[in-house]
Amino acid sequence: MFKKYLLVIIVLSLFTACGSKKQIAEVTLGTEQTVAYKSLGNGVAAISLLFFKNNTFQLNFKSIPQPETDDKPVVRSEKGTYTAEGNWKTLQFLSNGFDATALFDAQYNNPNEVEVLSENTVKVNTDEQAITIWGILCERE
């Protein structure tokens, strides 16, 4: 239980620190989804990763504060573009200062599902029925 609190605090501080420097390049999301991953019920966060036909994506994250705390939920929405090589999509997050390693932690990810290439570049195998984001299982819809 303590690890969950510590993880939430670390992510909150990471997002807060990055938020003030964030400059978002504009991207127009597509209207037709090709693949979507959404988190299963849990007491930590609601997460979705949506891929669109025009090679754009959106990652939505909302933390779920613990009942015994006064914490406010952390809400983030990150956009970007991707390229495809077979089932692997290489996601390029467009926000300056966004650190993909905070959400795609190698400790929790299966290398057959997700590979972090840099702070703003991640490869995702969209052939997988589930991937792990921030230690939370997200199922393909």
pLDDT digit string, tens, across residues 94-114: 988 789 988 898 888 888 899
Q: Please choose, from the candidates 89, 85, 7, the residue with its C-alpha nearest in 3D space to the C-alpha of residue 45.
A: 7
Decide: pTM greater than 0.75.
yes
Per-residue 3-state assignment (H helix, E strand, C coil) for the chain: CHHHHHHHHHHHHHHHHHHCCCCECCCCCCCCEEEEEEECCCCCEEEEEEEECCCEEEEEEEECCCCCCCCCCCEEEEEEEEEEECCEEEEEECECCCCHHHHCCCCCCCCCCEEEEECCEEEEECCCCEEEECCEEEEEC
On whether the CB atoms of residues 44 and 74 are closer than 8 A, the answer is no
Bigger pLDDT: 47 vs 22: 47
Mean model confidence pLDDT for the chain: 85
> Of all residues in the chain, what percent carry a pLDDT higher than 90?
62
Q: How many CB atoms lie within 10 A of CB 128?
A: 17
**5-32 average pLDDT score:** 57
**Identity of the amino acid at 81:** T
> What is the residue type of 7?
L
Q: Write out the residue range of the structural domain in which residue 60 sits.
A: 2-140
Q: What is the mean pLDDT of residues 64-86?
A: 93
pLDDT of 107 reads 83
- What total of structural domains would you count in the chain? 1
Pick the range with the lowest mean pLDDT from 13-17, 35-39, 53-57.
13-17
Q: Which of 87, 19, 85, 31 is nearest to 58 (CA)?
A: 31
**Rounded average pLDDT over 28-34:** 93
Inform me whether the pLDDT recorded for 5 exceeds 50. Answer: no
Say if CB 11 and CB 85 are below 8 A apart: no
Least confident among 8-12, 45-49, 80-84, 134-138 = 8-12
Q: Could you read off the pLDDT of 111-122 as tens digits, one per residue?
A: 889 999 999 999
Q: Comparing 22 with 130, which gets the higher pLDDT?
A: 130
